[in-house]
Chain A
């Protein structure tokens, strides 16, 4: 087992990886950009090293700087988290050549599944269904328009490398095609340093269903069931759940078997996710493989009881998985909500800035993976996702209610967040009914505004009262009725 691991990431995932390392007795090294000098993930590790300026290109995406940091600190392995360098086969290869272990699949598997066009072709040969696509769109506008017409509208433009919705566009009318391709190429180039895009037939109202897989280097490969991630905005997932309300036992058998077929063909080991879209007639189509730990992995951990980061590290160290498919039991239901520093009432505009106060919800079946703390900064340089809230319940409704309650308890003051939006989303009848699809938000929440302000007057009193107090406030300022049991509540929940 490794003695020291470098975590090549930031935010909540860096802290989450450090947590498991601590449990395993592994020393951790954090890397950070100049903008992240005082970010929580730096303090979550045992050692920390600055690897460059704020721009991700020059720090978190700088493979040489990351590897040099590992060598300087004597780390034996690098955990890439998600995003940044996590699915970059060149990086994985360089890590190996430097005599270090990359915690993830082999560079060859990464290359095989990372190029979506190649992955589609490989998967088609395995008999796994894929969505009709135009893999080599012409650079010539008139030819491209013809090709697109042959494929059929609506269609979807996707980046050949990368994911997370960057570089993706739906095109419904020919007149928008050329501009959409150009915008997608620009976005892809900025995000992945590779601007190649391809076109795909767009399936209306599909569900996004993905299968978590886990394999060791000794040939054992298992699946941990599916997750549904249909609630998305601009291809960025907002809420995920497991199991999917649309997947029955038979469909689960088929879709997980397809996922294992794909993974096996790619010689895949470590943690990965095979993504599918599911149409209204229980037909599924292969989308892509995410060759890394997923943002939404906590919900799989909730229902399987496994620690996926622990498994990743053990697998990378050459250990055996130690379980077979029959040993994997799934219990209950779990949701995850992604909390973004963005304003849902104003076009989801990012809302960076100082976090004046942060308080995580607690309670049975509630988990928080946070990348913020009070008095830290939500930086303009990186993704606006600041925390993930996940809940477990005995069934879907139980987990849903827990999530509602947890969201109401969650406090983030400073940046505007999507919490009120998430609360409304969880209470929507179509959501409660499990009638989710990837167009759910545009369909039901297109012009969302905070519905009502039930406590505006009391909030105004609280604000006025706090203004009236000298700062810093002290416990003696408030005259409460003497000797009431409520007085014991003084400082309620602070420091919890």
Chain B
């Protein structure tokens, strides 16, 4: 069994096969032997190098969440597009300011055509009873505004389009 998972923008090749009474698992560069003691109903108990680990697993169809010892690991299966957009999130300046949650635009602090500095507040969004300032990741020009103050917005809705100077986007790989 061979698959590629993506976690926080980086790809992890996972390969496993049954061997003896357990599994030989290779994740990235690391190979280990694992005994699975229980795997049902979202609970997963595995023994690796003598250590027992209890994982809880759930998936929403797109993302798979695995909790071990108070930490939650999030994986996306092989889908290239998601991986690429994650990579962009992780490494590059994002020209599209989208709403991180449903809420209400309290204030639009910029207008089309103006230049903004890194960290400058573009819009103020009220959601879950708190004010959240959405900022520019780097120096940019405001290309287009898609919302006005008082407007209700949905998760992921495009709010502001920015244009970064050439140097900042040049590094984008195909």
Contacts and interface: CB of A to CB of B under 8 A. Distances in A.
Given A460-B14, A481-B35, A190 B126 contact: yes
Given A464-B14, A464-B16, A475-B40, A380 B101 contact: yes
Interface in B45-90: 45-48, 53-60, 64-73, 75, 77
Contact of B58 (A357, A469, A491): A357
Contact of B41 (A416, A450, A473, A480): A473
A456 B55 CA distance: 11
A205 interface: no
Contacts of A464: 1, 3, 5, 14, 16
Interface string A128-150: 00000000000000000000000
Contacts of A458: 34, 46, 48, 53, 55, 68
A9 to B, nearest CB: 15
Given A183-B131, A413-B56, A462-B46, A420 B70 contact: yes
Given A411-B56, A473-B40, A491-B40, A460 B5 contact: yes
B102 A380 contact: yes
B68 A455 contact: yes
B32 to A, nearest CB: 7
B114 interface: no
Interface stretch (B20-28, B138-146, B156-164): B20-28
A103 B56 CA distance: 41
Nearest to A407: B70
B73 A455 contact: yes
Contact of B129 (A383, A412, A413): A383
A250 B67 CA distance: 46
Contacts of B14: 460-461, 463-464
B54 A492 contact: yes
Among A234, A450, A455: residue with most chain B CB under 10 A: A455
B129 A478 contact: no
B36 A478 contact: yes
Contacts of A456: 7, 12, 27, 73
A356 B59 contact: yes
A272 to B, nearest CB: 23
Contacts of B65: 356-357, 413-414
A413 B69 CA distance: 13
A261 interface: no
Interface string A453-488: 111111111111111110001110111110010110
B70 A166 contact: no
B18 interface: yes
Contacts of A381: 128
Given A458-B48, A462-B57, A473-B41, A349 B132 contact: yes
Among B5, B21, B32, B40: residue with most chain A CB under 10 A: B40
A36 B103 CA distance: 18
Contacts of B18: 479
A377 B43 CA distance: 21
Contact of A419 (B21, B68, B70, B106): B70
A490 interface: yes
A423 interface: yes
Contacts of A428: none
A491 B44 contact: no
A134 to B, nearest CB: 23
A458 B48 CA distance: 8
A441 to B, nearest CB: 16
A285 B7 CA distance: 49
A478 B132 CA distance: 47
A313 to B, nearest CB: 29
B168 interface: no
Given A413-B58, A460-B27, A478-B38, A492 B66 contact: no
Contacts of B56: 357, 359, 411, 413
Contacts of B39: 465-466, 469, 473, 477-478
Contacts of A191: 129
B21 A480 contact: yes
A138 B80 CA distance: 58
Contacts of A384: 128
Given A356-B59, A477-B39, A494-B42, A463 B75 contact: yes
A485 to B, nearest CB: 10
B44 A382 contact: no
B44 to A, nearest CB: 5
Given A349-B100, A349-B101, A382-B128, A459 B43 contact: no
12 contacts: A186-B106, A349-B100, A354-B60, A413-B65, A459-B55, A459-B75, A460-B27, A480-B38, A484-B37, A486-B37, A492-B45, A492-B54
Interface of A: 166, 183, 186-187, 190-191, 234, 347, 349-350, 352, 354, 356-357, 359, 380-384, 407-414, 416-417, 419-420, 423, 450, 453-469, 473-475, 477-481, 484, 486-487, 489-494
Given A383-B128, A463-B57, A465-B36, 6 more contacts: A384-B128, A419-B72, A454-B71, A458-B55, A460-B7, A487-B37
Ranked nearest first, the 6 interchain pairs of A and B with the lowest CB-CB distance are A356-B58, A459-B73, A408-B70, A481-B21, A459-B66, A457-B27
